Amino acid sequence: MLIKNKKIAIVGGGPGGLTLAKLLQLKGVDVKVYERDIDKNARVQGSPLDLHDNSGLAALEKANLLDEFKKNYMPGADKTTITNEKAEIFFSDHETVQTEDFGHEHFRPEIDRGTLRRILIDSLQDDTILWNSHFLSMQKQNEGWLLQFKNETTSYADIVIAADGANSKIRPYITDIKSFYSGITMLEGNVYEADKSLPKISGILRGGKIMAFGNEKDILMGQKANNEIGFYASFKAEENWAAKSNLDFSDKSQLLEWFKTTYFDWSDIWYELFENVQTPFIPRPINCMPLNQTWETIANLTLVGDAAHVMPPFAGEGVNMAMLDALELSECLTTDKYNSIKEAIAVYEKTMQKRASLIAQESLENGEKMHSKNALTTMISFFGGDHHG
């Protein structure tokens, strides 16, 4: 095996990095994960994830974690309701009987982000993750890299894999290609004890997802574990909207006023979200990597997930792509097919770049459709047609 007796450092403990660590450990590889969170109890933000058969679920199966996933996923959380801005329902698949159909390409079971992270963390050997490791920089040393962290520790690795997300600190060591702004910004909020605090919305949500479309703006939300709901107000805006808006994202009443003005003809049902949110809101400008990106492969450094190919969330593929990256990279590094680690990384990168480019294109197109004048009709025909699943 090419990486026998090599020390591998994965920077970033999201689903991509943790999946990769597990897959490498199963092959007996010496791997460490460096994660900036203080410990494993850090609250995980973000909406639930739906995993797909040929990517996220395939990676979990290879990691021997599919049974654990089946015990922990949220049946029914993939049920979708589509409304207009007045919260009038135009599509719902809640009455469609869905059989638990693992192995079927259109079965996309949902899991809470925090739960998936826990499953992956618990599957790793005890000392795999070094918490409170906020990556600062690295220098070449011998055949590998010396990594430096904010807590003043350093660590040597023969191979470094960046899994540190959209604002990756390691990516610039590989390429200076930067992501571009898609034109869409999402404002993320979370509501706890949602059944009590959001009676009207919970009645429409029914433990699944809501997609609301009106006047080129959206509200997207999903049921999370522990009776939490995560939601996003999604709209077209200039790139530095958050800074220019002068909004205090910790001030509920200010944000409710912003919503009333910006989403001016939306029903007051949606006000529940802003009145009961856990502040602060998180503004998220949605970026995408150029679709034609390539770089010169480096023999001891590569990347997975958003660090490699951040893309809009409108195809539901972000985490699935990251986990598929982990699966494909682990296979390339542990097979005897290639003559060198550099060749193995190059094969992985070429496939990953091509695959990510197609999905990113789809995500950009979906983002345009979802924020267009006729978004409601487009999305109803999409979900009501053959694509549903």
117 is in an annotated binding site: no
171 assigned to a ligand binding site = no
Whether 53 has a binding-site annotation, put simply, is no
Start-to-end CA span in the chain (Å):
39
108 in a known ligand binding site: no
- For strands 110-111 and 49-50, give the pairing: antiparallel
Calpha distance 242→185 (Å, rounded): 9
| Tokens 């899991």, residue located | 111
- Taking CA atoms, 174 is separated from 67, 297, 376, in Å, by 37, 8, 41
H, E, C per residue of the chain: CCCCCCEEEEECCCHHHHHHHHHHHHCCCEEEEECCCCCCCCCCCCCCEECCCCCHHHHHHHCCCHHHHHHHCCCCCCCEEEEECCCCEEEECCCCCCCCCCCCCCCCCEECHHHHHHHHHHHCCCCCEECCCCEEEEEEECCEEEEEECCCCEEEECEEEECCCCCCCCHHHCCCCCCEEEEEEEEEEEECCHHHHCHHHHHHHCCCEEEEEECCEEEEEEECCCCCEEEEEEEECCCCHHHHCCCCCCCHHHHHHHHHHHCCCCCHHHHHHHHHCEEEEEEEEEEECCCCCCCCCECCEEECCHHHHCCCCCCCCHHHHHHHHHHHHHHHHHCCCCCCHHHHHHHHHHHHHHHHHHHHHHHHHHHHHHCCCCHHHHHHHHHHCCCCC
Q: Which residue has the tokens 């660090």?
A: 307
Query: CA–CA separation, 174 vs 297, rounded Å?
Result: 8
Residue corresponding to tokens 């450092």 = 9
The position carrying tokens 């995500």 is: 363
Which is it for strands 30-34 and 129-130: parallel, antiparallel or unpaired?
A: parallel
Residue list, annotated binding site for NADPH: 43
Residue list, annotated binding site for FAD: 50, 113, 306
Residue list, annotated binding site: 43, 50, 113, 306
